[in-house]
Amino acid sequence: MRGLDRWCLWLEDADPSDISKSPFLRQRVEANREWRTAQKPTGDAYKLKDTPHLMRPNKERPLVDYVGIPRVVSEARSYYTVAHLGVDVVAGDKVYTAIDTDGLLFALISSSMFIAWQKTVGGRLESRLSFSNTIVWNNFPVPELDEKQQKAVIAAGKKVLEARALHPDRSLADHYHPLAMSPELLKAHAALDKVVDQAFGAPRRLNTEAQRLEILFKNYQQLTRQQ
In a domain, 85, yes or no: yes
Domain co-membership, 151 together with 190: yes
Q: pLDDT per residue over 74-110, tens digit each? A: 999 999 999 999 998 988 888 999 999 999 999 999 9
User: Which parts of the chain register pLDDT below 50?
Assistant: none
Interatomic CA distance for residues 81 and 111, integer angstroms: 10
Domain co-membership, 23 together with 111: no
Positive or negative torsion for Cα 168, 170, 176, 180: negative
Q: Which of 64, 141, 77 is nearest to 110 (CA)?
A: 77
Tally of domains in the chain: 2
In a domain, 182, yes or no: yes
Report pLDDT for 226: 67
Q: What angle do CA 87, 113, 86 make, to 5 degrees?
A: 5
Report pLDDT for 5: 83
Count how many Cα atoms sit within 13 Å of the Cα of residue 217 in the half-sphere of its side chain.
8
Residues 69, 113 contacting (CB under 8 angstroms): no
Domain co-membership, 98 together with 15: no
Report pLDDT for 93: 83
What is the distance, to the nearest Å, from the Cα of residue 116 to the centroid of all Cα atoms in its chain?
16
Domain co-membership, 52 together with 70: no
pTM confidence score: 0.88
Q: Element (H or E) spanning 165, and its range?
A: helix 147-165
Domain that includes residue 17, residue range:
10-57
Report pLDDT for 227: 63
Residues 88, 68 contacting (CB under 8 angstroms): no
**Helix ranges, 60-122 (H):** 104-109, 112-121
Domain co-membership, 126 together with 214: yes
Interatomic CA distance for residues 79 and 212, integer angstroms: 14
Interatomic CA distance for residues 164 and 166, integer angstroms: 5
Interatomic CA distance for residues 156 and 107, integer angstroms: 7
